């Protein structure tokens, strides 16, 4: 059985484990104030060519989303999200449980548009409505699509116009930044976004996300928020060492690129059989539309997620590749589709 269910099924990349083992018996300061966390932060700051950002390591994506949104919004304020946004459909109401409304907007291929944001803000102008104060996007999106620099710049402009905090979920940022069609850099992110995070959990780390706070007004007391929400690990150096391994050289980008290369191979295989996709393949998430009659056979050899029913006879499934996806698993999928006759 080969798994294309997600990109966090395996433990960690060997080079991450190697560095963890190297410093296993070293005594470190706690709560993320160790030399390895500092080294990792400096590597990330160098990629952005700036020293004026704050970086915090948080164990997981849902925790990061919850802490950021609940910390930066006042009780009457709300966050705008695409209908497909992770905070809306995959986090068990974590944001709502903090007392903040999520205002969902129909986007295009999982992406928010400036027009959609404007419409929400203009509608919520009276004091008897919640007040939109933050925009949540992800790159790559829940549908595996990515934002172009032009799209991100347009959203950033609208957020500045309406004084909205722009927050980018980067759980799969490595895949987004290494897509062949990508034109966004870490430096661009630091100039266009107020706060974003760099996903480690889904790109070779055992766990951890690196949150980057750019906007000056958001930096104060953020460690208090992390601690209060139970996300400040005593052994914070465990995350610091992992991000040091990912960013002391090009490993972070190598792993994202590998996931995309494996995804591209699979996309080519499926396209060659004449099957369509829910959205055009781009990153490490694929959404092919397949006949229901084929899925039971496919499930005998491969694990994946049934994403959405398209019609009475077809379903869009989700296939995800990762830093650990092997050529063997991709070749096995290719052999399966060799025997498929798409009429």
CA distance 134 to 131: 9
- pLDDT over 60 (residue 260): yes
Percent of the chain past pLDDT 70, that is, above it, reads 99
pLDDT digits (tens, 9 = 90+) for 6-15: 999 999 999 9
Q: What is the mean pLDDT of residues 81-86?
A: 96
Structure tokens given for 255: 């792993």
Specify the pLDDT at position 342. 62
- The class that CATH gives domain 2-7+252-338 is alpha beta
Over range 242-250, report the average pLDDT: 97
Q: Provide the H-helix boundaries in the chain.
A: 14-22, 35-48, 61-72, 86-89, 94-97, 114-123, 149-161, 173-177, 186-192, 222-228, 237-247, 251-272, 292-301, 327-338
Domain over 14-249 is classified CATH 3.90.1150.10: no
Residue 343 has pLDDT above 90, yes or no: no
SS3 82: strand
**pLDDT on residue 111:** 97
- Size of the chain, expressed as the number of residues it contains: 343
Domains of the chain, residue spans? 2-7+252-338, 14-249
- For residues 205 and 255, the answer to whether their CB atoms sit within 8 Å is no
Q: Determine the 3-state secondary structure of 157 from DSSP.
A: helix
State residue 340's pLDDT score.
Answer: 84
Mean pLDDT over the full length of the chain:
97
Q: What is the DSSP letter of 26?
A: S
Residues 118-149: tens digit of each pLDDT: 999 999 999 999 999 999 999 999 999 999 99
């Amino acid at each position: 059985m080969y798994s294309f269910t997600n990109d966090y099924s395996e433990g960690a990349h060997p080079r991450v484990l190697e560095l963890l083992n190297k410093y296993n018996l070293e005594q470190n300061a706690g709560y993320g104030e160790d030399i390895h966390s500092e080294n990792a932060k400096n590597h990330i700051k160098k990629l952005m060519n700036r020293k004026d950002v704050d970086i915090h390591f948080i164990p997981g994506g849902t925790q990061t989303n919850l802490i950021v949104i609940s910390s930066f919004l006042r009780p009457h304020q709300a966050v705008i999200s695409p209908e497909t946004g992770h905070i809306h459909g995959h986090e068990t109401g974590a944001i709502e449980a903090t007392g903040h409304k999520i205002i969902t907007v129909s986007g295009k291929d999982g992406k928010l548009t400036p027009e959609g944001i404007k419409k929400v803000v203009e509608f919520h102008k009276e004091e008897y409505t919640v007040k939109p104060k933050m925009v949540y996007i992800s790159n790559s999106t829940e549908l595996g699509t990515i934002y172009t620099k032009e799209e991100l710049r347009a959203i950033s402009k609208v957020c500045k116009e309406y004084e909205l905090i722009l927050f980018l979920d980067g759980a799969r940022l490595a895949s987004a930044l290494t897509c062949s069609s990508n034109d966004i850099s870490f430096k661009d992110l630091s100039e266009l976004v107020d706060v974003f995070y760099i996903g480690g959990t889904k790109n070779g780390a055992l766990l951890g996300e690196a949150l980057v706070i750019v906007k000056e007004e958001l930096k104060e007391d953020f460690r208090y928020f992390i601690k209060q929400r139970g996300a400040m690990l005593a052994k914070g150096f465990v995350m610091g060492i992992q991000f040091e391994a990912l960013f002391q050289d090009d490993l972070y980008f190598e792993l994202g690129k590998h996931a995309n290369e494996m995804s591209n191979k699979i996309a080519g295989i499926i396209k060659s059989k004449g099957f369509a996709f829910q959205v055009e393949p781009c990153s490490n998430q694929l959404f092919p539309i397949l006949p229901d009659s084929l899925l039971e056979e496919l499930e005998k050899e491969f694990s994946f997620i049934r994403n959405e029913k398209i019609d009475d006879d077809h379903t869009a499934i989700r296939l995800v590749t990762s830093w650990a996806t092997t050529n063997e698993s991709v070749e096995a999928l290719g052999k399966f589709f060799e025997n498929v006759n798409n009429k």
